Structure 1
Amino acid sequence: MKCYCGNIKSYNTCCEIFHLNNGQTETAQQLMRSRYSAFVLANGNYLMQTHHKSTRPIKEKKAIVKWAKSVEWIKLELLETLNGLEKDKEGTVTFNAYFYENGNIDVIHEKSAFIKENDKWYYLGYAKNK
């Protein structure tokens, strides 16, 4: 079975590695994919620890986990990745995340901003257009 993030690798050779190593990814896209898999698995700890401290919604962890468990995740579709490679300090990933909620298909469309600090990528939030 392929990974939840849509990669052809299995979960245990893809996103599980990052879930077990506290989000130590090489690229922003790997972090984005692993965060999607964490939503599928309702892994609130991983979502919080990979969310940059300046924008991390600490008090909302339970609500995020509850919501992630309440929907059925369908697929992740990557649309665009700008920067976010090993030698970069920032990057963006634009994606669609499809899910069923209350009998309807819905989609999260987001251009996510990522920042690299101390050799570790973090999710910042919605990318602001420059």
Structure 2
Amino acid sequence: MGRVDCPCGSLERYDACCGRLHRRQAEAETAEELMRSRYAAYAVGDLDHVFRTWHPRTRPDTIEPDPTLTWTGLTVLNVLAGGTGEDAGEVEFEAAYERAGRPGRRRERSRFERRRGRWVYVDGVLS
């Protein structure tokens, strides 16, 4: 993928940022890094990464793409926990999107757990 900037909002190239997680060349070191990689996966259409990083207890049976939705930006609002030495994390973010030519925003406080040494998304509360 030739993207210059990663969709997660970092100033890094996609391949050096979330792309390496999507390709399974690395694992997220923090809950925030996993959350950013999941957003980027939605943005580039890598739903396998989204599914693979969802806690098996809470993930849906399948994840279907929404061709009417384009993710346009991510803002991390608060990282409450989920550093390298922790086993649980919470990250609050706002994701911008466009659907049928209309802008929208999704604000969520997501919960994460470290499972077998890997961060996974558990669930989130919309606000």
Scaled by the length of structure 2, what TM-score is found? Answer: 0.91
List structure 1 segments (4+ residues) > 2 angstroms apart after TM superposition: none
Match of 2:85 in 1: 87
Q: Quick check: which one's helix share is greater? A: 1
Matching of residues 64-79 of structure 1 within 5 Å: 65=65, 67=66, 69-79=67-77
Match of 2:24 in 1: 21
What is the CA-CA distance between 1:44 and the residue it aligns to? 1.4
- Specify which of 93, 103, 106 is matched with residue 104 of structure 2: 106
How many residues align? The count is 123
What is the CA-CA distance between 1:50 and the residue it aligns to? 0.2
Alpha-carbon distance in 2 for matches of 1:123, 1:27: 11
Query: Equivalent residue of 1:45, what SS?
Result: helix
Alpha-carbon distance in 2 for matches of 1:103, 1:127: 26
Scaled by the length of structure 1, what TM-score is found? Answer: 0.89
* 8 A contact 1:70–1:101 mirrored in 2: yes
Alpha-carbon distance in 2 for matches of 1:27, 1:75: 20
The amino acid of 1:43's aligned partner reads: D
RMSD (CA atoms): 1.6
- Specify which of 1, 7, 11 is matched with residue 8 of structure 1: 11
* 8 A contact 1:6–1:76 mirrored in 2: yes
- Specify which of 45, 48, 52 is matched with residue 51 of structure 2: 48
Gaps spanning 5+ residues in structure 1: where? none
